Chains A and B, each alone.
Chain A
Amino acid sequence: MEDSIKIENLTVRYDDRSHKRDMNTILNQFSLTVPKGTVCAIIGPSGCGKSTLLKVVAGLIQSSFGVVRFGDKPINPKNFRIGFMPQNYGLLPWKSVHDNILLGCQIKGIAKSRRADMRSLCERLHIETLLDRYPHELSGGQQQRVSLARVFLLSPDVLLMDEPFSALDAITRDAMQEVFLDLWRGQSITTLLVTHYVEEALYLGDRIVIMPERYTDAITIIDNPLARDKAQRMGQKFFSMSCALRKKIIQMRSRS
């Protein structure tokens, strides 16, 4: 498949001397394909390695075995535009909202050509009046919008989101998911999304990957027909699917 993210036999071990073992395995022979233009939601208990997985794809952890490809080339932050959205939004406290949004494009050397896009993007996200402020002066939801603006202004090849909506209250989270989808539909970026909310995974992910608690157990991949279907979101189908998903997660946990 062209331009999909392909993770093949990925193994990550941390040097962990405090455990008196030399190595601490986080991921073992992990394989996953995210087709072009889809969202893959990864769900699993804390410590199962889902954030580590994102960091490897983002090129932040190099000491791993196996390959991550985008299209037919190994993924590398220098050759691709990787949009990485960490849990704490990744805004630099010493940069104004304006500079934070432009940072990604500045690093890639495309800041000048994106200024016009930035204006319309900020208007769409309703942050055009906040451009001179600093991140600590914003609410969580506003910081989230700024972070989204930064990532989408870059129009990345790959989008990686690490529990992006989990620090928000329930109502804001729902609103931000809509904002995200609105932007996402415009660019259809191949996306890996880590979450611990079953409903979020169901609403956003074309595919849902359930990671086991221990790296020795197998992952479960579920195709999700209800992805981004707003009409279904409050419906019976969505509810029963989320119950089934929960059951599956609990089953996997009790097995380990």
Chain B
Amino acid sequence: MRVGRIIVSYLTAAAFLCMLWTCVAYIMELPIVPPPSRVLSRLVLVFFDSIAVHGAYSLFRIGAGLLMAVIIGYPLGVLMGYCRRVDRILSPFVYLTYPIPKIALLPILMLLTGIGELSKILMIFLIIVFQVVIAVRDGVRAIPSETYFPLRSLGASFGQILRHVIFPAVLPKFITAIRVAMATAVSVLFFTETFGTQYGMGYYIMDAWLRVNYLDMYAGIVTLSAMGLSLFGLIDCFEHFTCHWQER
């Protein structure tokens, strides 16, 4: 019932955007702005032959970068939120390195790790990890000390406190951080994929552009947008199942 309503709202938004696009296309009548109907029929035609593999590469890079960021950032954030001393030592490092535009590090990363997969995954990792660390740290800090009382008075171990209090309390903030980071990650991924690879949505779109094949280019953009949408949808689903105590 609820899921149905969400799908309808997304379809409405997509239909509205398509309508707007159609209007612009017909007003401008330029090959660089083809109408969505032609783009979509082209997409159906080339999706399995060429776009799918590029999409899979991009998804793999995002997934690997995200996984790495969570594996390293989550425990670090918990540690910083839970122990003041660790926070005092590590915060300056985080605050000094967080504002550096990570894309500026791309040439260095490429020199150090080569132009293969690793540099692209590391780039996404670098973008997401800081947001995870800060969101988790602030989430842990925001837990009122009384929340721990019932467990501590029972002699709960740190593992039990982690499982029953810290993990569920931080989850909403953690999910929000992933959601915000995901959008940045997708746009940066596009940029990194224009160098040193022949796979990925970034490569596919730029390649179509250079070949002046605007239909392919738009098909790629639509796929990238759909990929973003599915990632957000996945995060929303995850939130729905794990944080339903928050819904009123």
Q: Does A47 contact B (CB under 8 A)?
A: no
Report yes or no: A107 in contact with B146, Cβ–Cβ below 8 A.
no
- On whether A84 and B150 interact (CB within 8 A), knowing A107-B160, A136-B248, the answer reads yes
B152 at the interface (CB under 8 A from A): yes
Shortest Cβ distance from residue B239 to the other chain A in the assembled complex, whole angstroms: 13
Residue A122 at the chain B interface, CB threshold 8 Å: no
The one of A59, A76, A92, A154 that contacts B165, using a Cβ cutoff of 8 Å: A92
Asked if A58 is at the interface (CB within 8 A of a chain B CB), the reply is yes
Chain B 152-178 residues near chain A, CB threshold 8 A: 152-156, 160, 164-165, 168-169, 171
Q: How far is the CA of A81 from the CA of B248 in the complex (A)?
A: 35
B10 at the binding interface (Cβ < 8 Å)? no
Across the interface, name the chain B residue whose C-beta is closest to A99. B164
Using an 8 Å CB-CB cutoff, how does the interface string of A74-98 with B read, 1 for contact, 0 for none?
Answer: 0011110111101010101111100
A107 x B154 contact (CB < 8 A): yes
Inter-chain contacts of A82 with B (CB < 8 A): 153-155
Contact B149 A90 (CB under 8 A): yes
Identity of the chain A residue whose Cβ is nearest the Cβ of B167 in the assembled complex: A94
Residues of A within 8 A of B154 (CB): 77, 81-82, 84, 104, 107-108, 154
* Secondary structure type dominating chain B contacts: helix
- Is B197 close to A, CB under 8 A? no
Q: Are A77 and B153 interface neighbours, CB within 8 A?
A: yes
* Residues B155 and A90 in contact, CB atoms below 8 Å apart: no
Partner of A59, one of B152, B160, B164, B248: B152
Q: Closest A residue to B242 by CB, please name it.
A: A94
Q: Per a CB cutoff under 8 Å, which of B152, B164, B168, B245 touches A77?
A: B152
The distance from the CB of A187 to the nearest CB of chain B, in whole angstroms, is 17
Alpha-carbon gap, A82 to B152, bound state (A): 10
Contacts of A58 in B (CB 8 A): 149, 152-153
The proximity string for A residues 220-237 relative to B, scoring 1 for CB distances below 8 Å and 0 otherwise, is: 000000000000000000
**Number of residues from B at the complex interface, CB < 8 A:** 20
Question: Is B146's CB under 8 angstroms from A88's CB?
Answer: yes
Q: CA separation between A96 and B171, bound complex, in Å? A: 16
- Interface of A, helix, strand, loop or mixed by DSSP: loop
* CB atoms of A104 and B150 under 8 A apart: yes
Does chain A have a CB within 8 A of B147? yes
* From A79, A90, A93, contact of B150 by CB (8 A): A90
In the assembled complex, the Cα of A76 lies from the Cα of B147 at a distance in Å of 19
Chain B residue numbers with a CB within 8 Å of A59 are 152-153, 155
- Cβ A78 vs Cβ B152 within 8 A: no
For residue B165, give the distance in angstroms from its CB to the closest CB of chain A. Answer: 7
Point out the residues of chain B lying under 8 angstroms from A104, CB to CB: 150, 154
Q: Is the CB of B155 within 8 A of A86?
A: no
| A82→B165 CA distance, assembly (Å) | 19
Q: In the complex, which residues 36-93 of chain A have their Cβ closer than 8 Å to any Cβ of chain B?
A: 55, 58-60, 76-79, 81-84, 86, 88, 90, 92-93
Quote the shortest CB–CB distance from A125 to chain B (angstroms): 18
Asked whether A86 lies within 8 Å of B150 as measured between CB atoms, the reply is yes
A160 on interface, CB distance cutoff 8 Å: yes
- A103 contacts chain B at the CB level, 8 A cutoff: yes
Nearest residue in B to A135 (C-beta to C-beta)?
Answer: B245
A88 to B149 alpha-carbon distance, docked (Å): 11
Give Cα A95 to B246, complex, Å: 10
Question: Is A134 close to B, CB under 8 A?
Answer: yes
> With the chains together, A136 CA to B168 CA distance in Å?
16
Interface hub of B154, B156, B168 (most chain A Cβ within 10 A) = B154
- The smallest beta-carbon distance between B240 and chain A, in angstroms, is 14
Q: B172 — nearest CB in chain A belongs to which residue?
A: A94
Task: Give the residue name and chain of the B residue nearest to A87 (CB).
Answer: B146
Question: Once the chains bind, are B168 and A94 in contact (CB under 8 Å)?
Answer: yes
Answer whether A107 and B156 are a contact pair too, CB < 8 Å, given A92-B165, A136-B248: yes
Report if B79 contacts A (CB, 8 A): no
Interface residues of B in 111-170 (CB under 8 A from A): 146-147, 149-156, 160, 164-165, 168-169
Q: Which 3 A-B pairs have the closest CB atoms?
A: A77-B155, A84-B153, A78-B155
Using a CB–CB cutoff of 8 Å, the interface residues on chain B facing chain A are 146-147, 149-156, 160, 164-165, 168-169, 171, 243, 245-246, 248
A-B contact pairs, 23 of them (CB 8 A): A55-B149, A59-B152, A59-B155, A77-B152, A77-B154, A84-B154, A86-B146, A86-B149, A88-B146, A92-B164, A92-B165, A94-B171, A95-B164, A95-B168, A95-B245, A96-B245, A104-B154, A107-B154, A107-B156, A107-B160, A136-B248, A150-B150, A154-B154
